[in-house]
Amino acid sequence: MRLLPVALAALIAASFVSTPAEANTDQLVANICDYVKSNDKNRLRKKLKESRVKLRNIYTGVSCDGNSLLRTAYNSNSLEVGEYIAKRLPAGDLSTPEADGKSILDWANANGHSGSAITAAVQDRISGGE
């Protein structure tokens, strides 16, 4: 009969441990999205560094209002941050279709962003530049 209280205590302890981590993750994503939308490359870099997170490791898992970080940068006209993101991602991530089945280049071209500096950075990265 002692097993139930011990198991309950372990479950409660685990919930306290995981909740702050989840809250920290949610706050990190919110900060990243805010910095992308406001074209604040320096604060984005600082937040990633202090969180010990690499952009290439989180890019596919982060969504800002249902859009990828690059689409958010395009929609916010955040050229500096968009170029920064494009230069930090593997070419494979840039070529992979997103949730709607379009790669970032296909989406950018279809949405009038073909002349954007972000598009140039994406194309350069995919073609093996920088």
Residues in the chain predicted with pLDDT less than 70, given as ranges, are: 1-23, 129-130
Residue where the block lists tokens 């009038």 = 112
pLDDT at 22: 65
- Residue 118 backbone zone (phi > 0: left; psi -120 to 50: alpha; other: beta): alpha
Q: pTM score, two decimals?
A: 0.80
pLDDT at 7: 43
* 94, two tokens: 């840039």
The per-type count for the chain, helices as H runs and strands as E runs, is 8, 0
pLDDT at 128: 82
- Residue 65 backbone zone (phi > 0: left; psi -120 to 50: alpha; other: beta): left
